[in-house]
Amino acid sequence: MTAYGGDEISAIVIDIGSSLSKAGWSGEDSPKVIIPSYVGSIVESENKESKAGSDVDVTMVNTDAGNSINASSKKNNKKFIGDGQINCWRENMELKNPLKNGLSKLLI
């Protein structure tokens, strides 16, 4: 039977903490990745109708797609990462976990 030492096995170590999540290889001094365990997210929606002429009774239709311009709205997602950003109170901010099914959803 072959016995392996600690440096010969490449194992991934994941530490999910209350404020920081860390991941790295076993046998190394420091983790390779350190990310916050929670991020703040604010979803703001802007209606094009509210910016330009909301008192107009006519809805313009895009002839290419057949969609109404007033029905479309743009959503802005703002992300806040780190203790200084999350601890500051903001209206409509939700705290979310950045990992879903083991994958980062910060880029989504």
8-48 residue pLDDT tens: 667 889 888 877 889 999 888 999 988 888 888 888 766 54
**Rg of the chain over all Cα atoms, to the nearest angstrom:** 23
Total-model pTM:
0.45
Pick the residue with more confidence: 67 or 33?
A: 33
The domains of the chain are located at: 1-37
Structure tokens at 107: 């880029």
Supply 71's token pair: 């029905």
